[in-house]
Amino acid sequence: MSIRPTTKKYLFDIWGAVLSVEQFTEGIDADIFASNDLIQAAVERKFEVIGEALNRIYREDEEVLAQIGDYSRIIGFRNILAHGYDVVDPLLVWSIVQDHLPRLKSDVDTLLQS
């Protein structure tokens, strides 16, 4: 599969954001995450970047987007972070980091390697 240059740029944006989230959360647990506003804000911002990049891929290249698991849920999560800031549960964000970020990283890595 050939990936358009702008789509590849968005994939690199996602990749960089994923690496940042990993760096921000390295060596901490859910309790530390839930009590640290700075780390929460940094992680949430990177999820906004991830969701927006996926949204842009959606508009440009649905074939590539189909290779990313749960992309619609990730875009929806970005919308909650951006517009529903008052209902964001830090422990939900933490669980997404732990349970879903590895798959996103793997999917994006596969696409970037192709």
Mean pLDDT of 41-56: 97
Alpha carbon 17 to its chain's center: 7
Alpha carbon 5 to its chain's center: 20
Which tens digit of pLDDT belongs to each residue from 22-33?
999 999 999 999
Burial 7-20 (b: 16+ CB within 10 A, else e): bbebbebbbebbeb
Q: Quote the CA–CA distance of 94 and 40 in Å, as a whole number.
A: 9
Q: pLDDT averaged over the chain?
A: 95
69 contacts: CB under 8 Å, gap ≥ 6: 103, 104, 107
pLDDT confidence of 84, banded at 50, 70, 90?
Answer: confident
Listed by start position, the domains of the chain span 5-113
- pLDDT of 85 > 80? The answer is no
Active site residues: 78, 83
- Please, are residues 21 and 93 in contact by the beta-carbon 8 Å criterion? no
User: Which pair of tokens denotes residue 74?
Assistant: 């990730």
Mean pLDDT of 34-58: 97
- Please, are residues 108 and 68 in contact by the beta-carbon 8 Å criterion? yes
Mean pLDDT of 9-16: 98
